[in-house]
Structure 1
Amino acid sequence: MIIDGNEIEKAAMAEFHRGNRKEGLRIQEEFASKFREEYREKDHCSCKKACRYHGNCKECVAIHRAHQEHVPNCMRALINRKIKILSELTEHTIVSEIENPD
């Protein structure tokens, strides 16, 4: 099972966007059920460097929410992709403004 960009969860989100909450929740539970089954005994954490909280998302996210200095490693690629899309709105000029302040 692939977690990142999972087609079942994408289908659930499409239903939510259409306003079909009931169907979105049904499909989302399908994803969650398959996740629980497949990763019952396997490592699901995508972090490349294991830390003390590796695979324990609940505590890892709580720690990052508490200190609010950065995001967990497993969320960085997703957030960077979203930031890149936003940055395209200004032809990626924010990067040069940060790197070359006047």
Structure 2
Amino acid sequence: MIIENNPKELEAMREFHKGNRQEGLRLQEEFAAEFREEYRDKDHCPCKKACRYHGNCKECVAIHRAHQEHVPNCLRPMLNKKIRLLSELTEHSLASEIEPPKEVLRKEFQEKAPG
């Protein structure tokens, strides 16, 4: 099951935008039910960062809402996609002004030392 850009959830949003709330909610619940079944015992979190809240969305989001400094890592690709569209307005000139922070990744995503 794919989560990002899930066809059923995209269709649900199309229905919501058309004003068909009932169908949108039906499709959304189908997606949620499939998600609950598929990820009952599997890791659904795409975050690569080393974090004790990995996979615990409820606490992770609460922490980010509380400190208000940045968004959870799992939401960054979606937000960056939207920001990229805005950045086109200035020919992405902001990119040369930004240096991303160094982050500590989970062990399975850390680069192996040569040798």
TM-score by length of 1: 0.88
For structure 1, the 5+ residue unaligned runs are none
Q: Which residue of 2 aligns with 1:74?
A: 74
Distance in 1, Cα, partners of 2:23 & 2:7:
15
1:30: Cα distance to partner? Answer: 0.5
Root-mean-square deviation (CA, aligned residues, Å) is: 1.4
For structure 2, the 5+ residue unaligned runs are 98-115
Distance in 2, Cα, partners of 1:19 & 1:82:
24
Which has more helix, going by share of residues? 1
Distance in 1, Cα, partners of 2:28 & 2:3:
12
Q: Higher relative CO (CA 8 A, sep ≥ 6), structure 1 or 2?
A: 2
How many matched pairs?
A: 97
1:33: Cα distance to partner? Answer: 0.3
- Do structure 1's residue 44 and structure 2's residue 44 form an aligned pair? yes
TM-score by length of 2: 0.79
Q: Which residue of 1 aligns with 2:107?
A: none
Q: Which residue of 1 aligns with 2:34?
A: 34
1:72 is matched by which residue type in structure 2?
P
Q: Which residue of 2 aligns with 1:12?
A: 12
1:87: Cα distance to partner? Answer: 2.0
Q: Which residue of 2 aligns with 1:2?
A: 2
Percent identity, aligned pairs only?
74
1:64: Cα distance to partner? Answer: 0.3
